Amino acid sequence: MSHTEYPPFAVTADLVVLTIREDALCALLVRRAADPFAGCWALPGGFVGEDEDTDAAARRELEEETGLADGTVHLEQLASYGAPGRDPRMRVVTIAYLALAPDLPAPTAGSDAADARWWPVEELLADPGRLAFDHHRILSDGVARARAMPENATVFCRPEFTVAELRRACEVVMGTPLDPRNFHRKVTGRPGFLAPTGTMTTRDGGRPARLYRRSLVSRSSQSSDDFSTAPVR
Amino acid sequence: MSHTEYPPFAVTADLVVLTIREDALCALLVRRAADPFAGCWALPGGFVGEDEDTDAAARRELEEETGLADGTVHLEQLASYGAPGRDPRMRVVTIAYLALAPDLPAPTAGSDAADARWWPVEELLADPGRLAFDHHRILSDGVARARAMPENATVFCRPEFTVAELRRACEVVMGTPLDPRNFHRKVTGRPGFLAPTGTMTTRDGGRPARLYRRSLVSRSSQSSDDFSTAPVR
DNA sequence: TCAATAGTGTCTGTTAGACAGTATTTA
DNA sequence: TAAATACTGTCTAACAGACACTATTGA
């Protein structure tokens, strides 16, 4: 580019927020109050501020939408979407973020959202026309990413959780049943992955189970393989 | 955002183009002709056109810079970079792409580049102040991504290549020596990964080796594990 | 002949996954 | 006691990695 003229873009940070509710992977959607797509369900998000880092904008939107402090949530960049015409008003580039959150109370409707609620992703993915803009595609990409990293299923659990609870979270994310005994061995045998609290609980019934907390050991030292203990077809 | 006002951004598509030259992983850089950072080396790239898809802009820049037709090159989105102040002139959001290319003739200087050449990434990564803007960080992210997917090392090879040539490409990408025999068994034993051409070559010396072509079988059916046959320290 | 590289076979330790069996709670 | 869940042990098939060995070229 040899001269200083560049077309102006609007930039938004949009969120694929996933959680587990009633044994189903769910995504947070808001119902749009204004045109375009007024009344339609869409991913939460919004325009990036003039002096705002795009990552910071994502964190801000996340907190506005869920009320969640950072640290409880896993937040990472997903991808960018910049096809012309994806917003009928103007040229918009969207930077999508993937957020994995523990189960939350009913979400609060934001200022520009008529409504906000959790939807099972299976239902959403089955109907490509349900979401505004190209949000179906973004959601689909986000769910695929989440499924590819079941190691992060700990963020779907309470701060202190049992191995069985973590296993059920993994099962929901992956969509496959896992062998409880192999899962237990694998997950407890990985050094630095789970930190035992020393306490027990009987909230799952049966014999009391040890409670664990997510370990704070640096993630870099761990291989990123999953817990696939799928019992095969 | 309840009203229709959005700060304007410029959007660029920048490229981390990697190839292998003389057994070293190299990145394509251009020397900037204009301010800011005039005379400094930077990633190739440029502003996204008013009616241009961001992905298309990346492909266009790639072809302008390397003269390569699509199909010979592996191109994928890397990440977005949108911190305020990363371009001193104005607010710019950069969508970075990772391109893996076979060895190419000396690159042609573009219209806005005073010069263009390949640099060993090791040298570039060792000096964080060498590149313009935040391009050191982007390059670093791109190299990390490339190292994480040695399955794609075939794009660094000629259209028809031997197992040894593919192995050397993998070794360069991963930075580790690989056992030739185990590598051979693993790579030829993976169904649908390599397509034998039926011809042989002696260009590597010694006993003639079979030539292979990258197989066109859908990638989705393959597990994404690597070829790590590292002989350990 | 030797040197170099291609390609195959074989062994060993680790791991995934299947599943038996024991332990500890509530009803 | 039975039912439920937690946890441990063991077996097997597959696989990674180490390395011996044979095959086929050029010098």
Q: Note the pLDDT tens digit of each residue in A72-106.
A: 899 999 999 999 999 999 999 999 999 999 987 76
Contacts of residue A128, Cβ cutoff 8 Å, sequence gap at least 6 = A136
CB atoms near residue B3 (< 10 Å) = 7
Region A155-174: mean pLDDT is 96
Does the bond joining B36 to the residue before it have cis omega, within 30 degrees of 0? yes
Q: Note the pLDDT tens digit of each residue in B89-130.
A: 999 999 999 999 998 776 665 556 668 999 999 999 999 999
Interface contact B82-A7, CB threshold 8 A: no
Assess whether A225 (CB) lies less than 7 A from strand C: yes
Of B10, B53, B112, the CB nearest to A84: B53
Interface contact B48-A7, CB threshold 8 A: yes
Nearest CA in chain B to A61: B1
CA distance B14 to B36: 16
- pTM to 2 decimals? 0.92
CA/C1' separation A172–C21 (Å)? 29
CA distance B57 to A83: 10
Q: 């573009």: which residue's tokens? A: B110
Describe chain B by its helix, strand, coil percentages, rounded to 5: 25, 30, 45
Q: Note the pLDDT tens digit of each residue in A49-72.
A: 999 999 999 999 999 888 877 778
Q: Note the pLDDT tens digit of each residue in B39-74.
A: 999 999 999 999 999 999 999 999 988 887 777 899
CA/C1' separation B228–D16 (Å)? 9
CB atoms near residue B181 (< 10 Å) = 9
Specify the length of chain A in residues. 233
List, in sequence order, every residue forming a beta bridge with A120; answer none if it has no partner.
A26
Checking phi first, is residue A149 left (phi over 0); if not, alpha (psi -120 to 50) or beta? beta
Helices (DSSP H) in A117-229: which residue ranges?
A: 121-126, 135-147, 163-174, 180-189
* Residue B55 to residues A128, B48, B81, Cα–Cα distance (Å): 22, 9, 15
Strands A10-21 and A92-100: parallel
Given a cut of 70, is residue B231 above it in pLDDT?
Answer: no
Residues of A in contact with B46 (CB under 8 A): 1
Residue B2, burial from CB neighbour count under 10 angstroms (0-12, 13-18, 19+): exposed
Given a cut of 90, is residue B232 above it in pLDDT?
Answer: no
Distance from CA of B229 to the nearest CA of A (A): 16
- The residue type of B226 is D
| Closest C-alpha among B91, B73, B75 to residue B83 | B91
CA distance B103 to B178: 21
**Whole-number pLDDT of residue B113:** 66
Checking phi first, is residue B232 left (phi over 0); if not, alpha (psi -120 to 50) or beta? left
Interface contact B9-A48, CB threshold 8 A: yes
Question: Are A93 and A6 a contacting pair, CB within 8 Å?
Answer: no
Interface contact A93-B93, CB threshold 8 A: yes
Phi/psi of residue B123, nearest 5 degrees: -65, -40
Of B83, B95, B112, the CB nearest to A80: B95
Nearest nt (C1') from A184 Cα: D7
Q: Note the pLDDT tens digit of each residue in B134-192.
A: 999 999 999 999 999 999 999 999 999 999 999 999 999 999 999 999 999 999 999 99
Residues of B in contact with A219 (CB under 8 A): none
Dihedral of CA atoms A133, A83, A63, A131 in degrees, nearest 10, equals 20
Q: Tell me how many residue pairs between chain A and chain B have CB atoms under 8 A apart.
A: 93
Nearest CA in chain B to A226: B225
CA distance A175 to A147: 9
Of A10, A48, A83, the CB nearest to B82: A48
Assess whether A177 (CB) lies less than 7 A from strand C: no
* Residue B48: both structure tokens together: 């996204």
CA distance B46 to B44: 7
Strand C nucleotides within a 7 Å radius of protein CB atoms? 3-10, 16-21, 23-26
Residues of B in contact with A11 (CB under 8 A): 6, 9, 11, 82, 93
Specify the length of chain B in residues. 233
How confident is residue B224, by pLDDT bands cut at 50, 70 and 90? very low
Checking phi first, is residue A89 left (phi over 0); if not, alpha (psi -120 to 50) or beta? alpha
